Structure formats: C-alpha cells, structure tokens
Structure 1
C-alpha cells in the first residue's frame, strides 16, 4: 500500500491516492487506487444546525470516505502511465464537484444515509 499523491482542495477536503494494485496473470495487472477523502466536520456551538450536531455525534470530528478507481488487464509496460491517467481523470472530473459549496454537506449526508440504511451504495 503506497500513497501516490495528496491533494488539498480549496474547501478543506484532503484527497489521498493510495495504490493497492497487483499483478494477477503473467504480465497483466489490476490497477486499484483508493481515493481517501478526509472531511473535517465543522464545529457547531449551538443546536441551531441539527445536521452537523448529528454528524459529529455519529462520526466525531472527522470522516474519511473511500472511493475505488480500478482498471483490469493493464500490461506491465503501461502500468505507470495508466495509474497516472486514473488519478488525473479523477481529479479532472471529481474536483469541480467536490469543491462546490454544498458538496461537504452532501458527502456527509450520503454517509449518514448509508449508515442508517446499512446499504453500501445510495
């Protein structure tokens, strides 16, 4: 498990890319990169915002979400380039969404819902 890259977003989210790839047959590799999204939950002095109070009760001061990027059947000579492309594509497409003002609340709300329903996806 090797950390490939770390990015700090303008809204305080921290992204960490961790390589969990392996060779599975001959010279073919399964590239698997975990994206760890560290969310620092805002401090709430009053009970006016019940959402953040509930979130802090459930998760504490911070929450780490994990997303997985995967590509199968990558030839050995293409591993480094494909790995960089996976990270680059994720940053290009996800960062504009993650930096939106409402995304922090949406990420936490989604995780609260998953914990409540016990479902991994939505």
Structure 2
C-alpha cells in the first residue's frame, strides 16, 4: 500500500498528492517510485450542456485521474529520502504550473473524454455465432 508523502492544494481547487511506492529490490538498493496523483471531479461547467455532462459521466465516471509515475532505480537506503525529495521537487519545478492552471481541469477532462471515445470506437465488436 502506498503512503502519502505530500499533498499540495492548488489555486484551481485541485490537490496534487505524492504517493510513495518505493520498494527494496536487492541488497541495500531500492527502486524509489512515486505516484503523482490529482483527482478531478467531473462538473457540469466542464461541458456545454447537461446532456454532454451525463454522456461524459457514463464514459468516465464521476472523476478522472491525472496520474504520473516517476522513479529512480539503484538508490541506496541512505539516499532514498533525498531522492524522493528530488523527484517531488522536479515535478513541482517543471510540471506544477501546468497542473495548477485554471484551464487544466477542463482541458484534462476533455482530453480523457476524447481518449475514452476513441478507445470505445476502436474496441473490437463481439460476434456470437452458433445461435439460431
């Protein structure tokens, strides 16, 4: 089970969470692996009308998740905490501005909706044969 290392509330109403999935893999070495998670609740304001909102909820559910994994392998136990801090700082310095923008929730929801629709269109159809 992952441990929450840090939560960062954003001005756009979202919260970024850093979850620790670090594991020991050999001798004194670890795979430092962090999950960066931001849950976005679908809102009617993300859509042009209520029908579009309901269609999106059927495809996506009530929430969509921005999720990224960052990792570093071969980290000695004595450096694991420092590496976790470095990985979090890198995200904060390079990606937090994007996630914290006021346009991010709407853009991300629309992107996930397009992906779900595309996936649904590409899904193979099922044929049932042998039934009369």
Q: TM-score range by the shorter chain?
A: 0.7 to 0.9
Contact 1:13/1:40 (CA < 8 Å) preserved in 2? no
Aligned length: 117
Within 5 Å, give how 1:13-52 maps onto structure 2: 13-44=14-45, 48=49, 52=53
Q: Secondary structure at the match of 2:95?
A: helix
Question: Distance in 2 between the 1:71 and 1:112 partners?
Answer: 31
Q: Which deviates further from its counterpart, 83-92 or 57-66? A: 57-66
1:79-110 superposed Cα distances (whole Å, 9 cap, x missing partner) = 00000111111112111111223221221122
Q: Where in structure 2 are there 5+ consecutive unaligned residues?
A: 120-132
TM-score calculated relative to the size of structure 2: 0.75
- Report matched runs for 1:1-122 at 5 Å: 1-44=2-45, 48=49, 52-118=53-119
